[in-house]
């Protein structure tokens, strides 16, 4: 018993410097610029959110927050760049819904998303919204369902790519309603919206954030939002449940992650600071104006959220036979 007590005391003494060093690192963080690596190109919603939040983080930390865009591979190129960085809090990743959709749908992944990335904070969620071209006859969800059923094989819907949020939202909608539309995959949301506005493809599940100006100007017509409730920026647009199709919930979301092995004290501090930045009055107002729901979750909440998202899209992928190389 005495030997066990001595061994335990020795172990406690051995670990004490490590615990002190981690605590000191969290207290001192940051003492140099922080790199915020965005896994999508400039100009999109993910980049915009990072650039709205980063100045406030810089103010909180007293250090520059440098945005670096590493686009490609549905977020995988940027993610691998982050994994090659030190787990010290100075390289963080702003990722989107593909963080969960990739492991759910891809046949092969270069890393284990959950095990190799520390969850820090779910920043925002932006609902997808069902839109149609201005010259397309349906003006409600029920009218769209009737129109598709009356014109079998003749109605196309656009997406920003196979396995993208607009693609998954459309598949979820067709499974809930039993209608059949033909998928036309584009290389990004911008080209898809351009063709919808031109009437080339009549139907699209757009991201509310990127499509809002075109909806407000009447260049696309909104039928229903895939959010849990009506959007504050488009309060006249019903939810799918209100439109008669419950269960169609689809958000594009942005969250911050760090390489696995980042000290827990540092994870907690960075997450708390992100929540503080998101709750700044000006920051929050700008994000809400984009159609976003501002979250600012804890690491535990984000980790559970992404696991739930992976399970959800894995099930839909099997049901709709969606698989990505």
Q: What is the pLDDT along the chain (325 residues), one digit of tens a residue?
A: 455 555 555 555 555 565 555 556 678 899 999 999 999 888 888 999 999 999 999 999 999 999 999 988 889 999 999 999 999 999 999 999 999 999 999 999 999 999 999 999 999 999 999 999 999 999 999 999 999 999 999 999 999 889 999 999 999 999 999 999 999 999 888 899 999 999 999 999 999 988 999 999 999 999 999 999 999 999 999 999 999 999 999 999 999 999 999 999 999 999 999 999 999 999 999 999 999 999 999 999 999 999 999 999 999 999 999 998 8
Closest CA to 135 of 201, 224, 199: 199
Q: What is this structure's pTM?
A: 0.87
* HEC secondary structure over the chain: CHHHHHHHHHHHHHHHHHHHHHHHHHHHCCCCCEEEEECCCCCCHHHHHHHHHHHHHHHHHCCCEEEEECCCHHHHHHHHHHHCCCCCCCEEEEECCHHHHHHHHECCCCCCHHHHEEEEEEEEEEEEEEEECCCCCCCCHHHHHHHHHHCCCCCEEEECCCCCHHHHHHHHHHHHHCCCCEEEECCCHHHHHHHHHHCCCCEEEEEHHHHHHHHHCCCCEEEEECCCCCCCCCCCCCECCCCCCCCCCCEEEEEEEEECCCCHHHHHHHHHHHHHHHCCHHHHHHHHHCCCEECCCCHHHHHHHHHHHHHHHHHHHHHHCCCEC
Q: How many whole angstroms separate alpha carbon 320 and alpha carbon 167? A: 11
Contact between 165 and 194 under an 8 Å Cβ cutoff? The reply is no
Looking at residue 73, its pLDDT comes to 86
Contact between 297 and 305 under an 8 Å Cβ cutoff? The reply is yes
Whole-angstrom distance between the N-terminal and C-terminal Cα of the chain? 58
Which residues touch 130 (CB under 8 Å, ≥6 apart)? 141, 144, 169, 173, 203, 204, 205, 222, 223, 224, 225, 226, 240
């Amino acid at each position: 018993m005495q030997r066990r007590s001595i061994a335990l005391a020795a172990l406690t003494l051995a670990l004490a410097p490590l615990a002190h060093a981690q605590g000191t690192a969290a207290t001192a963080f940051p003492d140099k610029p922080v790199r915020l690596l965005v896994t999508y190109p400039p100009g999109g919603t993910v980049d915009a959110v990072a650039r709205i939040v980063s100045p406030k983080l810089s103010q909180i930390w007293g250090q520059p927050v440098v945005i670096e865009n590493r686009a490609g591979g549905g977020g995988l190129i940027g993610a691998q760049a982050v994994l090659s960085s030190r787990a010290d809090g100075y390289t963080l990743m702003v990722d989107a819904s593909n963080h969960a959709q990739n492991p759910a749908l891809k046949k092969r992944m270069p890393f284990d998303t959950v095990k190799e990335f520390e969850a820090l904070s779910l920043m925002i969620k932006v609902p997808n919204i069902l839109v149609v071209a201005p010259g397309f006859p349906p003006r409600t969800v029920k009218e769209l369902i009737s129109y598709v059923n009356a014109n079998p094989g003749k109605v196309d819907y656009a997406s920003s790519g196979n396995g993208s949020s607009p693609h998954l939202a459309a598949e979820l909608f067709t499974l809930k309603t039993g209608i059949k539309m033909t998928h036309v995959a584009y290389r990004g949301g911008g080209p898809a919206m351009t063709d919808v506005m031109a009437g080339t493809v009549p139907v699209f599940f757009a991201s509310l954030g990127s499509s809002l100006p075109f909806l407000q100007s009447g260049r696309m017509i909104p039928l229903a939002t895939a959010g849990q409730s009506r959007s504050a920026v488009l309060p006249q647009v019903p939810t799918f449940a209100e439109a008669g199709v419950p269960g169609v919930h689809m958000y594009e979301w942005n969250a911050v992650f760090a390489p696995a092995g980042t000290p827990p004290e540092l994870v907690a501090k960075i997450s708390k600071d992100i929540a503080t930045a998101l709750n700044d009055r000006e920051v929050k107002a700008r994000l809400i104006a984009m159609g976003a729901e501002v979250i600012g979750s804890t690491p535990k909440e984000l980790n559970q959220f992404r696991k739930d998202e992976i399970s959800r899209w894995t099930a839909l992928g099997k049901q709709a036979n969606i698989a990505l190389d």
